[in-house]
Amino acid sequence: MAERPLVVTATVDRDTQDFWDRLRRTWFPPDRLQVGAHITLFHALPGEHLDVVSADCAGLARETSRFLLTVTGVRSLGRGVALAIDSPGLMAVHGGLRTRWQQWLTPQDRQPLKPHVTVQNKVSATTAAITLATLRGEITPTTAPVTGLAIWRYLGGPWEPVSQYRFRSGA
């Protein structure tokens, strides 16, 4: 049996993560809530390449200083809602890893990155529209530090943490 796929996410500071997790717990259908809030960089890397993925993430983390992202607002996912993210630093990190892993990428991971944090998903279009209107009135542009990368193993719903790599603190 092939190893379970790997997910790579960006990590943020504790206060931001706590806020995003509260939003997700508030708006995500409870019976579908398997993982905390996250910014997915890669959805399904081959699990058998864990050593290379880990080494690449560790190397990039050693070379990269923390940088900021901006939550620019809220956007519709059709049957859900997400926080829209803008971050040239995040795009650069993703681009570097994407180049290294190009031969392994699924069609989904080959798509251009549109960074976001899913707050709600798999609800009716009406429920999503109500959530979108509510959050557009509550969410204002904010910045947060991107602190590193995390690797997870996808278990068919929940994710198992594998490793985390912190970016350098200095600018």
CATH of the domain at 37: 3.90.1140.10
Domain for residue 14, yes or no? Answer: yes
Q: How many domains is the chain partitioned into structurally?
A: 1
> What is the pLDDT at residue 171?
55
In which band, very low, low, confident or very high, does the pLDDT at 112 lie, cut at 50, 70 and 90? very high
pLDDT digits (tens, 9 = 90+) for 113-129: 999 999 999 999 999 99
Cβ-based neighbours of 1, under 8 Å, separated by 6 or more: none
Domain for residue 76, yes or no? Answer: yes
| pLDDT of 69 over the 90 cut | yes
In which band, very low, low, confident or very high, does the pLDDT at 25 lie, cut at 50, 70 and 90? very high
Domain for residue 1, yes or no? Answer: no
Domain for residue 104, yes or no? Answer: yes
| pLDDT of 1 over the 90 cut | no
In Å, the largest CA–CA distance within the chain is 48
CA dihedral 107, 109, 111, 112 (to 10 degrees): -170
Domain for residue 86, yes or no? Answer: yes
pLDDT digits (tens, 9 = 90+) for 129-145: 999 999 999 999 999 99
- The mean pLDDT of 159-168, rounded to a whole number, is 97
The domain of 11 spans 6-166
Q: What would the two tokens of residue 69 be? A: 């992202």
SS3 content of the chain, % helix, strand, coil (to 5): 40, 35, 25
Domain for residue 34, yes or no? Answer: yes
Percent of all residues in the chain with a pLDDT value above 70, rounded to a whole number: 98
Domain for residue 121, yes or no? Answer: yes
- If DSSP codes are grouped into helix, strand and coil, which group holds residue 79? coil
Whole-prediction pTM: 0.95
Domain for residue 142, yes or no? Answer: yes
